[in-house]
Copies of this chain bind each other. A is one copy, B any other.
């Protein structure tokens, strides 16, 4: 047979250099130096927004972010219509979006997490179009694969040099890794770096390399340091939480994965931090050195790196000041992109190499499906973030939760909204027993001999909860669909309803 360049071949003919490529080939590298301008109003004018466009923001400044607010105020004043906002997360500080929603300026939203007034407005059905709750890795995938094309990315930039390199570890609004903004920088048609810190010397080891930024927009202040990271994160002191953490740790230590080369992620919640401290202690005593810790990084993990308990940290987001500082100075503390962290189509992404992840849950059901997106009445109060990504990637995913909290069971017959499919959830650790996903018979067998950890079926745990709470009232969701819970691969897990 003959191939696309006319040569005889045996089989599988060459079809053109880019015919079989799975990704868009190139970063949208810009051919000119970025333009420097002052004042967000000038940048918003310069990017020539049109009705119906998609604009994006990242959330590394968290609830201290000024950039989304100042940008949307200009856009609101300009009277645009039907914009889509692709923000990696939405916090109370972003409440300007409520006005934008009510005036039809913003009519659809893609995000991995949403809380506060904007969540309330969306749950009330005030957004004209759809909200899609993505995962952190899925958002990067969708942007990079062209599924979520971005017209203009407004990137809050703690430091920028004149070539458009951006660093998250310098300046008054230093926030550490800018991992969630990398895909936006690579793919947005127009990229605006909004900064209060334009530096004249070239930045070394930037989060975002040169060649992506069109406009450097200098403003007075991109964020409020107090809202960006918490000074410290705290281990729980609640004895019930500590008991859950201790059992989770025993399970990890006896999982067969606890050995040199171990890799590990926990969140920044009080119970998760307690697990991190307990695991740290076990590593010290057993002389175990782990390959890496990853995820949102806290002082628990930077301490372990300094102590030599991990060879490397992969940091997509700093949760506290220790993480910001460490990521700016420790050679093996790597600030990474959301794609490298958790894009399911990126070969060798960090989450896929995880041994153990410890996660929370608002609800979990008898199929081990987890909800961290909505409350039991269907109201938006969070989102996947990296939940579904790491549950899928890790060899063992543990959910830690009180069985009954404020008279409500964490176990339900069916979760209100599926955030993370039960297929990827391995163990539920509660204060009243541990349930192992029936598809992990291997793990159940291995853990059955762990002293002090009682393994029961999830149905049994559910009965125990009902004995405490009584049969809960059935909550009828409205029939009005306002959005979708989207899995990391872009498929739909569930509908989200107006409340």
Chain A interfacial positions (CB closer than 8 Å to B) = 3, 5, 7-23, 25-27, 29, 31-33, 144, 162-165, 186, 202, 204-206, 209-211, 256-257, 259-261, 289, 291-292, 308, 311-312, 331-332, 337, 339, 343-348, 352-353, 355, 367, 369, 392-393, 395, 418, 421-424, 481, 484, 487, 489-495
Contact = CB atoms under 8 A, between A and B. Distances in A.
A21 B14 CA distance: 24
A420 B22 CA distance: 19
Contact of A5 (B3, B261, B422): B422
Contacts of A26: 352-353, 395
A453 B206 CA distance: 37
Given A210-B260, A256-B31, A5 B493 contact: yes
B17 A345 contact: no
Instruction: Return the 10 tightest CB-CB contacts between A and B, nearest first.
Output: A210-B261, A9-B492, A163-B260, A211-B261, A14-B491, A20-B489, A7-B494, A23-B347, A17-B424, A14-B493
A10 B492 contact: yes
Contacts of A163: 260-261, 289
Contact of A202 (B289, B331, B484): B289
A452 to B, nearest CB: 24
In this complex, the member of A7, A31, A209 whose beta carbon has the largest number of chain B beta carbons within 10 angstroms is A7
A7 B495 contact: yes
B493 A347 contact: no
B204 A311 contact: yes
Contact of A27 (B11, B339, B348, B495): B348
A162 B347 contact: no
Nearest to A355: B29
Contacts of A331: 205, 331
Nearest to A420: B17
Number of copies: 2
Given A17-B421, A348-B186, A8 B332 contact: no
Contacts of A21: 344-345, 489
B5 A418 contact: yes
In this complex, the member of A17, A348, A422 whose beta carbon has the largest number of chain B beta carbons within 10 angstroms is A17
A387 to B, nearest CB: 12
A5 to B, nearest CB: 5
Contact of A3 (B9, B19, B422, B492): B492
A90 B433 CA distance: 58
Contact of A10 (B8, B32, B345, B484): B484
Nearest to A14: B491
A495 B418 contact: no
A346 to B, nearest CB: 5
A210 to B, nearest CB: 3
A420 to B, nearest CB: 9
Nearest to A5: B421
29 contacts: A3-B491, A5-B369, A5-B421, A7-B495, A10-B495, A13-B491, A16-B421, A17-B392, A17-B421, A20-B491, A22-B344, A23-B345, A25-B393, A26-B353, A26-B395, A29-B261, A29-B353, A31-B257, A31-B259, A144-B347, A144-B348, A163-B260, A164-B261, A165-B261, A204-B311, A205-B311, A206-B311, A210-B291, A345-B347
A423 B16 contact: yes
A174 B135 CA distance: 42
A412 to B, nearest CB: 14
Contact of A418 (B7, B16, B164, B352): B7
